[in-house]
Amino acid sequence: MSVNLHNEQQSAKAFSLQSKIFDELYGGNSIIQYKRERVRAVAERYIKAGSQVLELNSGTGEDAIWFAERGHRVHATDISAGMQERLTTKAAALNLQEKISTEVISFTNLQNLKEQKEYDLIFSNFAGLNCTGELDKVLNSFSSLLKPKGVALLVILPKFCLWEFLLLFKGRFKTAFRRFFSSKGVQAHIEGTYFRCWYYHPSYVIKHLQGQFNVLTVEGLCTLVPPSYIEGFAQKHPRLFSFLKSKENKWKTSWPWKHIGDYYIIALEKK
């Protein structure tokens, strides 16, 4: 068995185990809600009415539901059967079955999608694409899946995060430097299951899509606002949280801020 296939199986297992409690764990987190608002603001900027959306690593369907409620049709894919089951249940409860279709499939295997057609938007949120060491393979499949002027909107973990690096001063050296040495993947674990993840600079995405895509935007996300794993920050420091949000939104597309967040949002348009 290849290393990449084994990693996909392990990550599928991990997220399936977490699927039953995923929404309870993260649904009420103020920083996660801020992140979703930021990503959705970019989506609204570029998506056309009545679009066909291909979502990668769709999780429990929070974004698929958001798109569907706004009149778009979503083919929501994920490698985790547990996440897909949760998504299907939520879509049915909201009577959105006609707007959302699902498929358990890896984003490294998009050539075998059951819905082989051209989409208006390929969407991947919250670093699902960091769970593969074959991001080049994923990116190379985008052109054939998008209509002309179609958009790829991706949210990815970069190779440097200011907040993580500052943990150096708390003696958390492993966390502070983990993104620097990720060429062979960094070990992560969820629900006791171990898998690897990789970090990618925006230039990596741009390089693999150059010639076929134009860059629309690169925005830093959680550059000044702390990462969501710093629990309770927004509740303990509401005025500071509001101040950091305003400054982050002001500088989100400026250097160096667009490169040093916990994530970056990148949107590219097919020529």
CATH number at residue 171: 3.40.50.150
Q: For the chain, how long is the longest CA-to-CA vector? A: 52
Can you tell me the mean pLDDT for 234-256?
A: 97
Q: What is the pLDDT of residue 1?
A: 65
pLDDT, average across residues 187-203? 94
Which residue, among 189, 209, 188, 211, has the nearest Cα to 199 in the 3D structure? 188
Evaluate if residue 84 carries a pLDDT over 80.
yes
At position 232, the amino acid (one-letter code) is: G
pLDDT band with cut points at 50, 70 and 90 for residue 153: very high
Average pLDDT over residues 92-102: 97
CB 258 within 8 A of CB 218: yes
To 5 degrees, how large is the angle CA 70–CA 75–CA 76?
Answer: 95
CA nearest 119: which of 18, 23, 16, 50?
50
Q: Sign of torsion, CA 21 129 156 214?
A: negative
pTM for this structure? 0.96
Mean pLDDT of 52-75: 98
- Show the DSSP H helices in 47-166 as ranges: 62-69, 81-93, 135-140, 142-145, 162-165
Segments forming the whole domain that contains residue 238: 3-270
Q: In the chain, how many domains are there?
A: 1
Q: What is the mean pLDDT of residues 72-79?
A: 98
